[in-house]
């Protein structure tokens, strides 16, 4: 990987800590949401997206 410039800090942090991604929110992201192969996104209980159960 050669993306040292840019979001490396965020990446390293995400390995061990995941805070709510809501702008300005500094709450621990207790809820992880992964869409397909995208990296999981974390939100606190207040800002978590509406969870829609998958239907096959």
| Footprint of Zn ion (CB under 5 A) | 20, 22, 25, 27, 44, 47
* Rounded Cα distance, 7 and 21, in Å: 14
Cβ nearer to Zn ion, comparing 14 with 27: 27
CB of 34 to Zn ion, least distance (A): 17
Burial class of residue 43, CB neighbours in 10 A (0-12, 13-18, 19+): buried
Cβ at position 46, least distance to Zn ion in Å: 5
- Minimum gap (Å) between residue 45 Cβ and Zn ion: 8
């Amino acid at each position: 990987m050669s993306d040292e410039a840019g979001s490396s800090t965020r990446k390293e942090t995400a390995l061990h800590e995941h805070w709510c991604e809501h702008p300005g929110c500094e709450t621990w992201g207790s809820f992880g949401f992964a869409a397909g192969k995208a990296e999981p996104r974390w939100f606190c209980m207040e800002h978590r997206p509406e969870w829609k159960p998958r239907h096959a």
